[in-house]
Structure 1
């Protein structure tokens, strides 16, 4: 049985449920369209820093923030377009702006569609007309995020897109990684290193970009939780970023369509022709063993 309920917390929260499977998803459209909670069989899959979430001045650390129109940060938070300089903060603005619910469905699954349209606020930092249409779909132990990127401008729409899921974990040393790459770039030092499947969790921060991936699927097995998480992503997502901080009960494995600073360098940047659209999907699956 599928259902969608709403609850007025600090923000209006939509609760998608597959009650037969014991799966629940909480979405807060007005706080960046973010998923704040995903629960499967009574177990929390995502981490959420509730104090940061409660403060609208702070970016959310937790859940699954939406990255658009950039992933990562720009040097001095600036990019140049047609000789004019613009300021755009890390990961773009989609994760901070209110989204609007346009559709709900509970027939074959629980599905919630949310929309973000360009406006005066976005055009001041990113001078394009666009529409993003995302649908969150819950069915069994899977969560799918269907995406539509529409260029409503009369010029090409340059963008990168991605997600920043925070997965809850206890003992990081009991994590086993299946990341389809043999090397990563340290985002701090910019050095490239071979990847043997392991991370040094004694480091204060790990921020590694896997720019050369050999398949559109990755997984992490958390032996302490007896949980295997799989991420399947369309080919627009050309890379994965792994990020975690020492002493925090989360790790992030993030599908990105392009690396940091792509608006300036053009590296793997998506260019949508006027009036064109691009559809994409990522699917998360939580298997307990």
Structure 2
């Protein structure tokens, strides 16, 4: 049995075994929980409510929608069609980060339930709100909870008259209880991007095979972008003593950014369609013609051991 609970600022998709809470603010996935011993066990580093999310989203960008670029934009600048733009909505150490739509209010466009699933569609429009990105587009985010997991489809549509550059991504922090040092990580990748001291790609790939099998995160520090292999297989597996999280991504999310914050009580696992600084280096950059759409897809599967 699948249900939807619609509240003024949030929506809850629920089955007998799983629950997902999504905010209209930012289309944020605030909770993804499995029922354990009669109680909900949430694995998202959550906000207490929508108001806290609205005031604290830039402190770590928890669960943020990353669009139209992800991670860092070198010196907040890029050149597109022979014109240089400066994009400075939120700047960290001289570089714009995490795009422009992380704090947009989405509206509930559609929703439904049946015996197999519960789903919602959330819509937001970007219309040249930032002078550094003088384009128009919309994002339609569809969440589907079914017996196989939580599916997240993001469809970007160019609603303007000009070709536009775009990257799509998510920035959830996952917490399986306790500390990261007690968890293990497996990634379907054997390469990662080389970063410079500003965490910007140099253009080189580095071999990285540590996580091709489950590897303890004890003492491990990560702020790296992995290049995924065959994306018909699971992209990433995060495990604790009693929980397993699988992340699946289609080919249109070829990069997986992993970040462990200093507190070591959660780990950010970020599906990215393009690399950091993609507007400048072109790694994974999508160009949308007028009226063209592209959909990006990932799935979270949460099990008890």
Shared fold per TM-score greater than 0.5: yes
Could you tell which deviates more after superposition, 41-50 or 190-199? 190-199
Alpha-carbon shift at residue 188 of structure 1 (Å): 5.1
The one of 34, 43, 46 aligned to 1:40 = 34
Aligned residue runs from structure 1 range 204-283, under 5 A: 205-211=221-227, 213-216=229-232, 217-224=234-241, 226-283=242-299
1:4 — aligned with what?
4
Deviation for aligned residue 1:49: 5.1
TM-score (norm 1): 0.87
Residue 162 of structure 1: CA displacement?
A: 1.1
CA deviations on 1:169-197 (whole Å, 9 max, x unpaired) are 32323322221112324545468353312
Q: CA deviation at 1:134?
A: 0.9
Q: How far apart are residue 248 of structure 1 and its match?
A: 3.3
Residue aligning to 1:121: 129
1:195 aligns with 2:209: yes
Segments of structure 2 that go 5 or more residues without pairing to the other structure are 89-95
Map of 1:15 onto structure 2: 12
RMSD of aligned Cα (Å): 2.5
The residue aligned with 2:19 is 24
Name the SS for the 1:263 alignment partner. helix
Q: Which runs of 5+ in 1 are unaligned?
A: none
2:79 is equivalent to residue 72 of structure 1: no
> Greater shift after overlay, 151-160 or 128-137?
151-160
Structure 1 residues 162 and 58, CA, compared in 2 at 3 Å: closer, same or farther?
Answer: closer
Q: What is the rounded CA distance, in whole Å, between the counterparts of 2:72 and 2:128 in structure 1?
A: 22
Asked if 1:86 is matched to 2:86, the reply is yes
Pick closer, same or farther for the CA change 1:155–1:7 going to 2, 3 Å: closer
Give the superposition deviation at 1:125.
Answer: 2.9
Report Cα offsets for 1:236-263 as digits up to 9, x if no partner: 1111111011323111221111111111
CA contact (8 A) 1:35 1:63 kept: no
